[in-house]
Amino acid sequence: MDKRIFISFAIEDKYARDYLVGQARNEKSPFEFVDMSVKEPWSDSWKTRCRTKIKGCNGVIALLSSNIIKATGARWEIKCAIEEGIPIRGMYVSEKDICATPAELLGKRVMHWTWPNIENFIDSL
């Protein structure tokens, strides 16, 4: 069975999510990605649907850039994953974003975005 990985990201970093999904296709990866990207306010019904999707995943990858600090939806997703006990890994989108770690990820593993780092996280699930 393929593993399901939820991707949390700031909407401004949609390009990074798209790149990650494309990278997985090129590597013929045995997992699928899920996300709840929206351009609307975070309603209670969105939070309920999002929590259900997160709970149905084996792990969460949080794409981290300087945009994450103001990304209330993505930060809520991170908090939700932690509350639900879903393994989470922060991945810095670029070298310049190394300081972009939201408070929700304190004490969690955060690393550089490389295919081996992604593969190792998913293999550990």
Q: Which residue reads 């393929």 in tokens?
A: 2
This prediction has a pTM of 0.91
Beta-carbon neighbour count of residue 93 at 10 Å?
23
Per-residue buried b or exposed e for 7-36, using 16+ beta carbons within 10 Å of the residue's own CB: bbbbeebeebbeebeeebeeeebebebebb
**What is the domain extent for residue 37?**
3-123
Q: Domain holding 75: CATH number?
A: 3.40.50.450
The total domain count for the chain is: 1
3-state secondary structure of 124: coil
| Ordered per-residue pLDDT tens for the chain, 125 residues | 688 999 999 999 999 999 988 888 776 676 778 887 765 556 788 889 899 999 999 999 999 999 999 999 999 999 999 999 999 999 999 888 787 799 999 999 999 999 899 989 999 99
